[in-house]
Chains A and B, each alone.
Chain A
């Protein structure tokens, strides 16, 4: 534990921040959408900091005043890009305070950080909130507050870094362009990384350990965070040249095969980031959209194993951060799909086997999160799910999804950065935007308005009624699809259940594509319904 640092100590902190930026610059680049989405924020901040280190080395003088001057001069001369210029102003303010001291403790550093924030805000007419400026300001406010309680630099800096992370996670609330792209601010992330690098240098712990420690404290709501626990094996990143129109669909396709989806850019050029187990599918989806280049693939298993070893053993936290998700579904394939989309617990159930309130309650309690969304995926299960609310201390929202298709749509629409109630509304809206068709067997002969149905025939159900029937599954499926279509739909999700004949998938896809639909096939493996269709 250290209470004061001298010039040498300051230089160590700066080296630590450079190292951290070097390690995370690609991630930061991938977040860059503002003010110009050119994907270079991480590189720019790294180069700016590198110029600082270079200038310190060149000056050769190790007094505090000399080091401070070198930091200010190096960052001024070496500033690259917007975030580099902002960083140079922060460092300028910071060193203006420190250069008057031979060594610095918490009070001096708190003041220096405050000055850094002030100087940074001065150099722009209309400061845009939700950027690195916001993160710097809120971190500096925390620095002043924390200086009243801490004498140890490590404790103080840890608190500042935690606050910076928390501030970063809220940047999408302040800057709409970030929210639309589903990212946190790149420059803000760079500043968080700098603080974490300094903390690592100060404490002597390696960077991963520092990040994990901070991540345990904070509410991990960022879409991409260096230490977020996920169960996907691979990270894939690439550039994609494609038509702008299809990008939203593409993003949705990726979300179905993985997590931490980022598709940012515009004007025909996009930077894509995805965590997935299904590398082949990711590549197929992308190459169907356009030309891929600069493909990078990382195996995340090691990272995940490290995190598991760190004590994360209970239910999977899911990919959604601070909001947990409980889903009702049956069929191995559907369970996997829901889990990969971020559901923390899947309760077995569905038509004719409704789970009890107790089972749902148990699933809710098994999640690490204090706030939970339940997707019942059947109207008969909604009441049982509603009862869970009164039986747990956790905050629970039930999104009344009536089918797995609605459940999928709802889960895809979930945004870990929004609040629980807001997410509930958003998910319900997404669920209501998709139509569900079910294909099953008639269990006995019966009559309906359209005629007679014989036992053993396939029947298509839509909006509580029988809309098609045929002894041939394909014909019944086509009838069902036609009954569901109103003309403006674009995407058909096909969930194959038990009893769906091998080989029929192709003809179904062909038929739907002939009707102008984009087709998404999921091997759900659910009982009773050989086929479930989702149309949106």
Chain B
């Protein structure tokens, strides 16, 4: 939960919403063609064809630090290191812009590479 205190009161942003923002940034990041679900629950949702923005996104807190893990599938033939770099930049930027959250760490886990086509 992220809390902004203002003169008028508080704004609370749930970790779920923050993860959705991160997930949205992933879908628009060039080179990323899919998110990899981690849990059984997500796996089931995937099988059921239910799209979730938070699939492949884990938000963890270590004390005050916010760490985001992204489990992604990239297009074959892109520069993986550079796409990962871009992804880190974009996710940090979106969360700062949209939610005022300074992410301390973004970990990109490349779970697969899509070939063919």
Contacts and interface: CB of A to CB of B under 8 A. Distances in A.
A77 B29 CA distance: 19
A49 to B, nearest CB: 14
B89 A36 contact: yes
A227 interface: no
A79 B30 contact: no
A85 B33 CA distance: 14
Interface stretch (A123-131, A279-287, A329-337): A123-131
Interface string A36-65: 101000000000000000000000000000
Contacts of B26: 125
A417 interface: no
A85 B32 CA distance: 11
A302 to B, nearest CB: 38
Nearest to B85: A81
Interface in B7-29: 26-29
A-side interface size class: 20 to 34
Nearest to A124: B30
Given A36-B93, A82-B86, A85-B86, A124 B32 contact: yes
A122 interface: yes
A99 to B, nearest CB: 14
B54 to A, nearest CB: 15
B26 to A, nearest CB: 8
Contact of B28 (A38, A122, A124, A266): A124
Contacts of B30: 82, 85-86, 123-124
Interface stretch (B41-49, B58-66, B73-81, B103-111): B73-81
A82 B89 CA distance: 10
Interface string B71-99: 00011011100110010011001001100
B85 to A, nearest CB: 8
Interface in A1-60: 35-36, 38
A77 B28 contact: no
A403 interface: no
Contacts of A35: 28-29, 90, 93
B1 to A, nearest CB: 23
Contacts of B82: 79-81, 84-85
A125 B77 contact: no
A126 B27 contact: yes
A35 B25 CA distance: 9
B31 interface: yes
A88 interface: yes
Contact of B29 (A38, A76, A92, A124): A124
A125 B86 contact: no
A123 B29 CA distance: 9
A77 to B, nearest CB: 7
B34 interface: yes
7 contacts: A35-B28, A79-B78, A85-B83, A119-B77, A124-B30, A124-B75, A125-B27
Given A123-B74, A125-B32, 11 more contacts: A35-B28, A35-B90, A38-B89, A85-B30, A86-B30, A89-B77, A123-B33, A123-B75, A125-B26, A125-B27, A266-B97
